[in-house]
Amino acid sequence: MSIEALILGKLHKPAERRASSNGRAFVTAKITAAVREGESVFVTAVAFSETAGAALLALAPGDSVALAGALRPGAWIDREGNARASVDLVAAQVMTHYALTKKRKAAAAAAGGDDAAGRGPAPAANRAANHTAGELDGGGDDEWLNGGAR
């Protein structure tokens, strides 16, 4: 069973390029995603698409990232006998702060505006991306993403 999901988190350690036994290339990454105050879960991500893999490989540990794809939840037992969550995600799309800034610049240029820093009101063509990835750059006007602040 898998669920289509959007995961927001930070890259835990550098992504790695690998190859399967049949020679198919893919990229793996560990993402730390917050689940509750002070608690987080590791998400093991694998990207088979070249663009998603390249985006993961370009990140450094601690960089913010949003991954969309097929999520498979699971569980494991630690040494003390406690049940722990495991989360695997096949990443179909990867959005980073860098890609969001680039997308905003392109949209601003197309609209004739000057948003070189990637800040300010988002052009109409980019409002959906701003809302979805607002947490990545502190932007957006979503009450939930901004910790209840308006």
Write the pLDDT tens digit of every residue in 63-84: 999 999 999 999 989 899 998 8
30 phi and psi angles, rounded to 5 deg:
-110, 125
Cβ count near 6 (within 10 Å): 14
Given a cut of 80, whether residue 149 has pLDDT beyond it is: no
d(CA 46, CA 88): 8
Residue 55 has pLDDT above 70, yes or no: yes
What is the mean pLDDT of the segment spanning 126-150?
Answer: 41
Nearest of 45, 49, 50, 9 to residue 30 by alpha carbon: 45
Confidence of residue 28 (pLDDT cuts 50, 70, 90): very high
- What pTM was estimated for this model as a whole? 0.65
Is pLDDT of 47 > 60?
Answer: yes
For residue 55, give both structure tokens: 């985006």
- Alpha-carbon distance of 120 to 143, in angstroms, equals 18
